[in-house]
Structure 1
Amino acid sequence: MTVKNWRIGLALAAALAGGWGMNAFASGAAGAFHWTSSAPLISPQADPEQKIYGVKDPSVVYVNGKYHVFMTTAGAKGWGLAYTSFDQWSNAAAAKIVPLDKSPMGPGYRAAPQVFYFAPQKKWYLVYQGGDPLYSTSDDISDPMSWSAPKPFFPVIPDIVKPPQGKGWLDFWVICDEKKCYLFNTDDHGRLLRSETDLGRFPHGFRNTVVVMAEKTADLFEASNTYRIANTGTYITLVEAISPQGRYFRIWKSDRLDGKWETYSAAPMNAFASSDNVERLWSEGISHGEMIRTNVDQTMTIDPCRPLEYLFQGNDPAVRVDDYIKLPYRLGIITAKGANPISALCR
């Protein structure tokens, strides 16, 4: 969530509270996920130009011996993008966070990044929202000043996301198979949408924007992220939802990116990660994040034979603010414990 009415989330959580018990996501359910949390690893740093309230919406790749993390900064001047890198998570807190507004990307509203290496073009892509979906490219992920000026994915906004058919779009996510690239997004109103283009035309030619899933607003809210599970024919999609205990992620699976999505956890509400199945959680729920992947390319692949790690945004539940942008978001990692539906696919 970035420039959105965060009071929607508060109202939805309050409305749900009467009908949801504290054990709504009982971690003991068979076929469910179990996690343990790190402490906060990346926090806002002093900025001479503005007060930074929070860092959020992380995207991460590991390449050339370093983690490269892109994030949204929430500051007194609004929303922007920033970058940091480090060799191991124990050094993340000390690593300098570099705002990207001095790069050719320029200043202005930028949020919710996704970074990946598009192998057919041998270029890095940074996908983000600036109202509509935008992208920048770079030949050197380690140089934060190398990102190109923003370009739109769509020359014309699809009718399905404009009133009266839709209510906007946000949190854009690209993943490709052998023939096509797909752009997924949510809309804060219970819909997951998908657009597509041919692999050879990317980043141009996106079309056929359709609704993939539609549920209650609280149950399918925002921040979708989709992955291929290595050495299988399975894909998973995670979407952030809202409960009285805070934000959490639900999980679905499919055998193709343009196929039907089915629930993929035996826990109530097919929960993936929530305040009820994460040990040592310092945050009010699990919010917008990304899996730490086994590769860096456009296939967005994760390895079922390695413990799952998920970099997420969390906030101190004791802090109450009068404006969403002031929430003290920090970044931390949850690590899977024991068997789960994804690890069961390890061969």
Structure 2
Amino acid sequence: MDLRLKRILIIAPAWVGDAIMAQPMYARLKQRYPQAQIDVLAPAWTRPLHARMAEINEAIDAPFGHGELKLRERWKLARQLKARGYDQVIVLPNSVKSALVPLLAGIATRTGWVGEMRYGLLNDVRMLDPIKLPQMVQRFYALADEKDAPRTQQVPHPVLTINPADRTAALQKLGLSTDQPIIAICPGAEYGPAKRWPARHAAELAQQLQQDGAQVWLFGSGKDTEICAEIAALAPQVINLAGKTSLAEAIDLLSLAKVAVCNDSGLMHVVAALQRPLVAVFGSSSPTFTPPLTLKAKVVTLDLECSPCFERVCPLGHMDCLNKLTPDRVLKALKEISASCNE
């Protein structure tokens, strides 16, 4: 084991789910370099995620949005990073732009997958074998080891830590009670409608859960207010939190759920990393590539001939993969995972 002090910078993903799937890699780096200082460069809105990862020393805000080149800002940031004296940078996104700042900062070891033909930008460049590493979490994790290291270690599941005081503050701020069992429904999926279980199905499920004595909380960002409002209109007793919480508050409140129902989305990965039981609903995407990384999950999918298509909008116009996935199937899975976790 290498015990040398090491300063490591991670160019982190901008998506919630991807950012969470990087956490096992941070744990592996800490295992290899116990005294290491690990910083992440990521969009400011991901700070609540990294603040709940015990391995991260500091989150540095990336001053550019998705797809923006902003060469002047990248050069300025590179000068600031150069002064920090990083020994290594690991670049998780596959774009050319994500590898520019590490090069300009003169970081000695620049690690990452080939991606968009990044020879020269990276000098510890890896060639991906998608058969050996089918899951994104595996691909991130492999970058924590040497290039030719054997892939014998099982990738641990992501873990987010919660501060109970922050969670209590979120409950008080929103006037929420924990007197009844809490079941979370996360009906959004930023990628597109082909990953969103229909609102009418979610509402029918919510009504059944309420009849069984649970309270149902809807979670989502401001982008999910429309689908959550549609669910709330059909099931008026739900507590609609979409757009009313920060990401930090949503994470803390989700840790209170007895069980959650999620699409393949960032919040699905949040729930899994909080070690809460969950039912994951898959439509256009594949649980083989981005599954919920926990033993406390059941995946519900119809495995139709046309799926997974990985499209944002159903190319056939019917979205049978989710429209035909009825609430009774999800309720059955929910009861099964709840029972198994209570054994």
TM range (shorter): under 0.3
- Give the TM-score taking structure 2 as reference length: 0.25
Higher strand share: 1
Q: Which has the larger radius of gyration?
A: 2
* Bigger relative contact order, structure 1 or 2 (CA pairs below 8 A, ≥6 apart): 1
- Give the TM-score taking structure 1 as reference length: 0.25
Higher helix share: 2
